[in-house]
Amino acid sequence: MKRYKMALAGLAIIFVILAIPRVLLIPRLSHELEKQLAQSLNTSEVQVSIRAPLGWELLFGRLPAFDLAAQNAVIDGLRIARVEFHGEQIGFDPRSLWQKQEVVYTEASNLQGEIVVTEDALNELWWEEVDLDRFLTLQVSPQGIDLRGTMSFWNMEWTLAVRGDLEVHHGTALRYVLKNFEVQETRIPSILLEILSENYEFVIDFGVFPYPVEIKNVLPQEQQILVTFGGLS
């Protein structure tokens, strides 16, 4: 009977030791990740889910997998409706986490995510940084991103219609590029299109994530855009 109780006590001690990382380390890392991402994304609505079966991996700077979800974020002045990321085999510096309460990324075998930006949010930033007088409005559809409105040139009112695209710029930014320009349904010379493009340059930099990621694709949808990201190769 005594041996039986000793065996049970031994098993209980082993169970406690094995459970310590899951009880202490995972919540600590989740909290620090949420705090760091909330600061990077300028939002308080961040949820991080860590998957570490044993938990001891975290002591050695290895995170098997995690999921990130955030809402109402702000990146480079642009309101983001939704942010989602998934990572696998993430490496981080454990000393920075335990000593400085900072998650320092080192590597990842798989990192991918997406953000959703609404048409209204794009227009807010457009009017704030480019078109202060709000002459033109961005209209997002599956066909592309149109820029429409009325402007005054040479004491005349001109109805403008621009077809443009958001192109990847330096890996982590998007730049609005004019593709086709019409004035009252009349196509204008390409040289004037170049001049207008210079005056209406619109760049959004998404390089704020604590993990090095790059934009993979930009998909215009009905009144919103979907931007997908992946880890740097």
Local confidence band at 25 (pLDDT 50, 70, 90 cut-offs): confident
| pLDDT mean across residues, the chain | 78
The gap from C-alpha 130 to its chain's centroid, in whole angstroms, comes to 22
Q: Is the pLDDT of residue 82 over 50?
A: yes
- Please state, in angstroms and rounded to a whole number, the distance separating the CA atoms of residues 177 and 167: 7
Neighbours of 122 (CB within 10 A): 24
* Strand ranges inside the chain, DSSP E: 46-51, 62-75, 78-92, 105-118, 136-141, 144-153, 156-169, 173-183, 186-187, 202-205, 213-221, 224-231
Q: Which of 88-92, 188-192, 211-215 has the lowest mean pLDDT?
A: 188-192
Give the tokens for residue 197: 């493009």
Residue with the bigger pLDDT between 233 and 124: it is 124
Local confidence band at 16 (pLDDT 50, 70, 90 cut-offs): very low
pLDDT tens-digit map of 44-57 = 888 888 887 767 77
Q: Is the pLDDT of residue 119 over 60?
A: yes
Residue with the bigger pLDDT between 161 and 18: it is 161
